[in-house]
Amino acid sequence: MTKANLKVPKSLRCAIYTRVSTDAGLEQDFNSLDAQREASEAYIKSQSHEGWKLIKTAYDNGGFSGGSLDRPALQRLLEDVRNRLVDVIAVYKVDRLTRSLADFAKLVETFDSHGVSFVSVTQSFNTTTSMGRLTLNMLLSFAQFEREVTSERIRDKVAASKRKGMWMGGGVPLCYRVENRKLLIVPEEADTVRQIFACYLEQGSILKLLEALRTRGIGTKRRVLSDGHVAGGIPFTPGPITHLLKNRIYIGEIVHKGASYPGEHEAILDRTLFDAVQTRLAENLNNHHAKRATSNALLLGKLFDDAGNVMSPTHCRKNGVRYRYYTSRAFVEGRKQEAGTVPRVSADDIETKIIELLKSNAATSESLKALREDSRTMIQAMVAQIVIERDRLAITLTEAAAEAIGQPTLSVV
Based on the fold, state whether residues 16 and 126 are members of the same structural domain.
yes
Asked whether residue 59 is assigned to any structural domain, the reply reads: yes
Question: Tens digit of pLDDT for each residue in 248-297?
Answer: 999 999 988 888 899 899 999 999 999 999 999 988 877 666 555 555 77
Collect all residues with Cβ–Cβ distance below 8 Å to 297 and sequence separation of at least 6.
313, 324, 326, 347
Based on the fold, state whether residues 286 and 236 are members of the same structural domain.
yes
CB 221 within 8 A of CB 189: yes
Based on the fold, state whether residues 327 and 363 are members of the same structural domain.
yes
Based on the fold, state whether residues 244 and 326 are members of the same structural domain.
no
Asked whether residue 168 is assigned to any structural domain, the reply reads: no
Element (H or E) spanning 357, and its range? helix 347-362
Question: Tens digit of pLDDT for each residue in 36-58?
Answer: 999 999 999 998 888 999 998 99
Maximum mean pLDDT: which of 243-252, 298-307, 331-340, 389-398: 243-252
- Domain range for residue 18? 10-147
Based on the fold, state whether residues 76 and 184 are members of the same structural domain.
no
Buried b (16+ CB within 10 A) or exposed e, 369-400: eebbeebeebbebbbeebbbeeeebebebeee
Based on the fold, state whether residues 194 and 143 are members of the same structural domain.
no
Name the CA dihedral angle for 158, 162, 165, 168, rounded to a multiple of 10 degrees: 50
Name the CA dihedral angle for 259, 166, 155, 61, rounded to a multiple of 10 degrees: 140
Asked whether residue 156 is assigned to any structural domain, the reply reads: no
Tell me what pLDDT residue 198 has.
93
Element (H or E) spanning 209, and its range? helix 206-216
Tell me what pLDDT residue 6 has.
54
Asked whether residue 241 is assigned to any structural domain, the reply reads: yes
Q: pLDDT higher for 8 or 378?
A: 378
In degrees and rounded to multiples of 5, residue 18 shows phi and psi of -125, 150
Cα–Cα distances in angstroms (integers) from residue 15 to residues 60, 81, 112, 223, in the given order: 11, 10, 16, 44
Collect all residues with Cβ–Cβ distance below 8 Å to 74 and sequence separation of at least 6.
17, 19, 59, 61, 97
Element (H or E) spanning 94, and its range? helix 94-97
Asked whether residue 2 is assigned to any structural domain, the reply reads: no
Which amino acid, one-letter code, is at 198? A
CATH number at residue 127: 3.40.50.1390
Distance CA 26, CA 368 (A): 65
| From 67-71, 177-181, 190-194, 223-227, the region with the lowest mean pLDDT | 223-227
Asked whether residue 369 is assigned to any structural domain, the reply reads: yes
| Closest by Cα among 378, 302, 354 to 401 | 378
Buried b (16+ CB within 10 A) or exposed e, 78-103: bebbeeeebbbbbbbebbbbbbbbeb
Distance CA 251, CA 229 (A): 31
Tell me what pLDDT residue 374 has.
80
Based on the fold, state whether residues 124 and 33 are members of the same structural domain.
yes
Q: pLDDT higher for 214 or 16?
A: 16
Q: What's the mean per-residue pLDDT of the chain?
A: 85
Asked whether residue 158 is assigned to any structural domain, the reply reads: no
Based on the fold, state whether residues 141 and 46 are members of the same structural domain.
yes
pLDDT > 70: percent of the chain: 93
* DSSP state at residue 346: E
CB 184 within 8 A of CB 309: no
| From 13-22, 74-83, 389-398, the region with the lowest mean pLDDT | 389-398
Which amino acid, one-letter code, is at 356? E
Bridge-based pairing state of the strands 230-231 and 253-256:
unpaired
- Total number of domains constituting the chain: 3
**What pTM, to 2 d.p., does this model score?**
0.50
Asked whether residue 28 is assigned to any structural domain, the reply reads: yes
Tell me what pLDDT residue 239 has.
80
Q: pLDDT higher for 25 or 99?
A: 99
Distance CA 355, CA 361 (A): 10
Collect all residues with Cβ–Cβ distance below 8 Å to 318 and sequence separation of at least 6.
none
Bridge-based pairing state of the strands 409-412 and 393-397:
antiparallel
Based on the fold, state whether residues 117 and 203 are members of the same structural domain.
no
DSSP 3-state assignment of 164?
coil
Does residue 62 register a pLDDT over 80? yes
Tell me what pLDDT residue 144 has.
74
Tell me what pLDDT residue 288 has.
61
Based on the fold, state whether residues 223 and 100 are members of the same structural domain.
no
Based on the fold, state whether residues 233 and 356 are members of the same structural domain.
no
* DSSP state at residue 371: G
